Amino acid sequence: MNAPQTPDDGGRIPQQAETTSTAHPLADRIVDQVEALVEEAETAGQPIEVDPFRKQLFELFVTAEGAGYVVDGGDPDLTSDGLCQTLAGRWGLKDAAQESFTSQTRMHEQHVQKMRSLWSVMRMWMEWSYAWERWPEFHSKDAE
């Protein structure tokens, strides 16, 4: 479990051990790029839901979808749940939430910000997955 945040560490989020594997280098690269994009948006003080971040995140979704990674039970799992579990693990959010619950204290603001970012990524990824899956229903010759 991560040590509780103290004022001495500036609220930095401890990095977890890498949760990616070399068995799926494209999937690893996609997750790394999503993480970098979240960091870039946070540093810029801009929501990831607006361009240029949204556009770049969507391009990563399209790459993951095209590679067959956005499938429930897939290996690797880059569904919204799988992607967000990986990022939450990297950022230590599960440990931070458990620590906050056990100690009955508020989570550090850095963890709260990461959770907000994670929720934004998850929500957009889910919406894109849904729309992508339903696309043929509305664009087949029978729909005309």
Tally of domains within the chain: 1
Q: Which residue has the higher pLDDT, 11 or 89?
A: 89
In a domain, 133, yes or no: no
Asked if residue 6 has pLDDT above 70, the reply is: no
In a domain, 61, yes or no: yes
3-state secondary structure of 112: helix
Scanning 19-108, the segments in alpha helix (DSSP H) are 25-44, 53-66, 80-91, 93-103
In a domain, 57, yes or no: yes
Question: pLDDT for 73-83, tens place per residue?
Answer: 888 999 999 99
Residues 6+ apart with CB under 8 A from 118: 38, 84, 87, 88, 91, 93
Calpha distance 18→40 (Å, rounded):
19
In a domain, 39, yes or no: yes
Instruction: Tell me the whole-structure pTM to 2 decimals.
Output: 0.77
Q: How confident is the model at residue 21 (pLDDT cuts 50, 70, 90)?
A: low
Percent over 90 (pLDDT), the chain:
55
Q: Which residue has the higher pLDDT, 24 or 11?
A: 24
Residues 6+ apart with CB under 8 A from 46: 53
In a domain, 32, yes or no: yes
99: containing domain: 24-121
